[in-house]
Amino acid sequence: QLPTGLYKKVLVILHDSVLPYMNEPTLMMDFLTVAYGIGGAISLLALNGLFILIHQHNLEYPDFYKKLYSLLDPSIYHVKYRARFFHLTDLFLSSSHLPAYLVAAFIKRLSRLALTAPPEALLMIIPFICNLFRRHPACRVLVHRPGGPADMSEDPYVVEEEEPSKSRALESSLWEFQSLQNHYHPDVAKAAAVLNQSLSEMEDDISGLLELSAYELFDKEVKKKAVDVPLEFEQVRGLFGKKNDIFAEHFSLD
């Protein structure tokens, strides 16, 4: 048992400063699988090391995607290690051999959590989800279901279900994107509207969006050039501005 702070310090550097220099990196399997099961930020940081062991050293982790799915909670869009987590999640969901129900579960969970996410996270997660649709065309039924949400008395997706195969995501509809199309931030609304059209085959590059911050978003808005808005060209007369206003005989604007 290690203190939480020490766990984080070790896991941050383990994948690039420790594993490449070990004769037998597989010795770290137990440590990383235990860390992955702890939850929270520690599980997010353990993903880097696990990815190396799975990708390069044939580590088998039967419930890997179930655990990855369980890590998706409202805090995922606010944590310090958000960029690292979504970079690795993008890699893990890149295989075209993944079953449609699994990818659909991730799309629905990410979309549902997006309803309370900050704008800087939404500008990253919307193209992220669009890329999943490009890789897995079978999931497009979430967008192009006949009738859409109108034919459903309630959303069949079970958000509390920890097992992706039982979440009934493929039976659902992506009504969350319709909500995001009315978002108060115009860039988010514009990005969400892309699903109203047919997606291009080329995937969006999200690498530059992973670390987008609220400060950068605000700075971009402040630096936009203001558009001159035409104002009233007719001189105001009287109290209510009408030409033949009876109030103009008794009131004047100084």
- Give pLDDT tens digits for 199-236: 888 888 888 788 788 888 888 878 877 777 766 666 66
Q: Has residue 110 been placed in a domain? A: yes
Alpha-helical runs (H) found in 21-117: 29-36, 40-57, 64-70, 82-92, 100-114
Angle between helices 40-57 and 4-13 (to 10 degrees): 30
Q: Which domain holds residue 111?
A: 63-251
- pLDDT for 232: 63
Taking the C-alpha atoms of residue 59 and residue 32, their distance in angstroms, rounded to an integer, is 11
Q: Has residue 72 been placed in a domain? A: yes
Q: Has residue 51 been placed in a domain? A: no
Which of 43, 45, 57, 36 has its CA nearest to residue 15? 45
Average pLDDT taken over every residue of the chain: 83
- pLDDT for 223: 82
Percent of the chain topping pLDDT 70: 88
Q: Which residues contact 242 (CB under 8 A, 6 or more apart)?
A: 248
Taking the C-alpha atoms of residue 214 and residue 222, their distance in angstroms, rounded to an integer, is 12
Q: Which residues contact 190 (CB under 8 A, 6 or more apart)?
A: none
- pLDDT for 226: 73
Q: Has residue 234 been placed in a domain? A: yes
End-to-end CA distance of the chain: 77
Q: Has residue 91 been placed in a domain? A: yes
Taking the C-alpha atoms of residue 149 and residue 133, their distance in angstroms, rounded to an integer, is 19
Q: Averaged over 133-138, what is the pLDDT?
A: 90
- pLDDT for 147: 62
Q: Has residue 186 been placed in a domain? A: yes
More confident residue, 119 or 230: 119
Task: At 205, list the tokens.
Answer: 């590059």
Neighbours of 61 (CB within 10 A): 16
Taking the C-alpha atoms of residue 165 and residue 195, their distance in angstroms, rounded to an integer, is 25
Q: Has residue 49 been placed in a domain? A: no
Q: Report which residue type is found at 148.
A: G
Give the number of C-alpha atoms closer than 13 A to the C-alpha of residue 138, restricted to the C-beta side.
Answer: 13
Asked if 167 contacts 158 with a C-beta cutoff of 8 angstroms, the reply is: yes
Taking the C-alpha atoms of residue 50 and residue 48, their distance in angstroms, rounded to an integer, is 6
Looking at the structure of the chain, the number of domains it has is 1
Q: Has residue 180 been placed in a domain? A: yes
C-alpha separations of 187 from 50, 119, 121, 184, 192 in Å:
35, 8, 12, 9, 9
pLDDT band at 3 (very low <50, low <70, confident <90, very high): confident
Strand locations in 79-233 (E): none
Q: 3-state DSSP helix/strand/coil percent for the chain, to nearest 5?
A: 60, 0, 40
Task: Note the pTM of the prediction, 2 decimals.
Answer: 0.76
C-alpha separations of 253 from 7, 115, 203, 237 in Å:
71, 48, 60, 8
